[in-house]
């Protein structure tokens, strides 16, 4: 029982880290990048989070 609890906590921590990374790269404008997000500077061309989500859902795995 304790092992499964620790597994769930570990999985939740991993998901939080991924969520923070997505927020930083796709949503948060950076002063050092003249108000653009790292994704915009890299040239991915997604202006909004929903554009990325729709593209991901359309592409086959």
If you ran DSSP here, which 8-state letter would residue 27 be given? I
- Condensed to tens digits (0 to 9), the pLDDT of residues 11-37 reads 888 888 888 888 888 778 899 999 988
Find out whether 39 and 46 touch, Cβ atoms under 8 Å. Answer: yes
Is residue 44's pLDDT more than 80?
no
Residues 21, 60: Cα–Cα separation, whole Å: 24
Where does the chain show beta strands of DSSP type E?
none
pTM over 0.85: no
What is the average per-residue pLDDT within 7-11?
82
Is residue 2's pLDDT more than 80?
no
Q: Which two tokens stand for residue 19?
A: 């969520």
């Amino acid at each position: 029982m304790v092992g499964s609890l620790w597994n769930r906590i570990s999985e939740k921590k991993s998901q939080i880290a991924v969520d923070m990374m997505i927020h930083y790269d796709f949503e948060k404008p950076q002063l050092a990048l003249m108000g653009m997000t790292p994704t915009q500077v890299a040239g991915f061309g997604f202006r909004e989070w929903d554009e990325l989500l729709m593209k991901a859902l359309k592409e086959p795995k």
